[in-house]
Structure 1
Amino acid sequence: MKIIIQNMVSRRCKMMVKSELDKLGIVYTSIELGEVRLAQPISENIKLKLQEALHRSGLELLYDKRAELIERIISIIVEMIHYSKEVPEVNFSTLLSDRLKKNYHYLAEIFSKTKGITIEHFIILHKVEKIKELILYGELNLTEISYQLHYSSVSHLSRQFKQVTGLTPTFFKKLPLRKRTNLEDL
């Protein structure tokens, strides 16, 4: 049995979900961003207890198929941009279509209607947050960041960064207080 959890977009969220599952004695086979695979179905009573526990932490169990689909799109994007070291061999539209077994135009339409933002813009926002994170770590230069995030050039990265933040990456790096946005708030 699979359950979908809204707003589960970080490793910290995964640890919190694991803790709640363990407290309730729910046996699971895997925990991924936005999704938990259970070893067996759970009772409605246990499902309600899990829902309450998750709600206290800002997470929600999803029952609507559209909402589940949106969360799966978000999870795939967050995983690829923030946690994956592998270089995708295809673009995001193909990746989403392949993983979700749905036409990309259908996914894009549902996402835009539900979230009020296009998938492409959502990806750009996450890439910019990842750029901020990598700049703050200071381990990579802009050329290396550009390569890691699959930009065609440093100037392309800089243009997108400036469109979203109003700042160049170099100016952002020099700021004394560099602010990042929580992934949950994107």
Structure 2
Amino acid sequence: MADNFVKEIQVKNMVCPRCVLAVEQSLQQLDIPFDKVVLGKVFLPQAIDKDKLPKLEQVFHQLGFEILKSKEVQRIEEVKNLLNEFIRKADIPEGFHLMDFIKQHIPEDYSRISHLFSSTEGITLEYFFIQLKLDKVKEWLFYEEMQLSEMAWKLGYSSVQHLSSQFKKHTGMTPSAYKKIKKGSAEGWK
């Protein structure tokens, strides 16, 4: 098994800088040398000892991560990490097209990636991207970081109305109703 992971390990559910830190700490704890850890990937200088791989999988599982093994699953996770990182920066340019963005970063046929994503995740790539954008809006609403018009602009919506209608369609409430409900909630913005 370790031979499959000589140069890199694909890790599912790494979505933020804290995830990178948690993975680095896990590797250090298990005394597994690594060159670099980035969202979704661990780069290794050598193969992992066979006795350490199950321990690493167990530690990752406890943290909510998973080592990906099939190429298809790795590709989907790469797409998800790419989109998560893009939304985290929250600066979607005017005229943005998801297909062009994916094609620019992943040298593979978009329709194949889109089909693979849908069959693996149970939702379309476009729907996943909308969910990411709306999660970002929820976060901003909860922390009162900016006005709705600025959110719409940063996330590439054509107008506040477009953002509001998409938000209501996917959450069942308007952004202002969501803000009122979540502000008094103990569960945070999610």
- TM-score range relative to shorter protein: 0.7 to 0.9
Alignment partner of 1:142 out of 135, 148, 155: 148
CA distance in 1: counterparts of 2:115 and 2:189, whole angstroms = 29
Q: TM-score, normalization: structure 2?
A: 0.86
Aligned to 1:180: 189
Shift of 1:85: 4.9
Aligned to 1:168: 174
* Residue-pair matches, total: 180
Q: TM-score, normalization: structure 1?
A: 0.88
The residue type paired with residue 58 of structure 1 is G
Aligned to 1:71: 77
2:113 is aligned with 1:107: yes
Deviations 1:64-97 (A, max 9, x none): 1111011111111111112x25545842222222
Shift of 1:2: 1.4
Task: Describe the SS at the equivalent of 2:10.
Answer: strand
Shift of 1:133: 0.6
CA distance in 2: counterparts of 1:157 and 1:131, whole angstroms = 9
Equivalent residues of 2:90, 2:155 under 8 A apart: no
Deviations 1:19-65 (A, max 9, x none): 10111222323222211122333222222221121112221111111
Aligned to 1:3: 9
Q: Which aligned pairs between 1:20-99 and structure 2 lie closer than 5 A?
A: 20-82=26-88, 84-87=89-92, 90-99=96-105
For residues 146 and 42 of structure 1, do their structure 2 counterparts lie closer, same or farther at Cα, with a shift above 3 Å needed? same
Deviations 1:116-151 (A, max 9, x none): 100111111111110011111212101111111111
CA distance in 2: counterparts of 1:71 and 1:102, whole angstroms = 14
Aligned to 1:19: 25
Structure 2 gap ranges (5+): 1-6
Alignment partner of 1:128 out of 129, 134, 138: 134
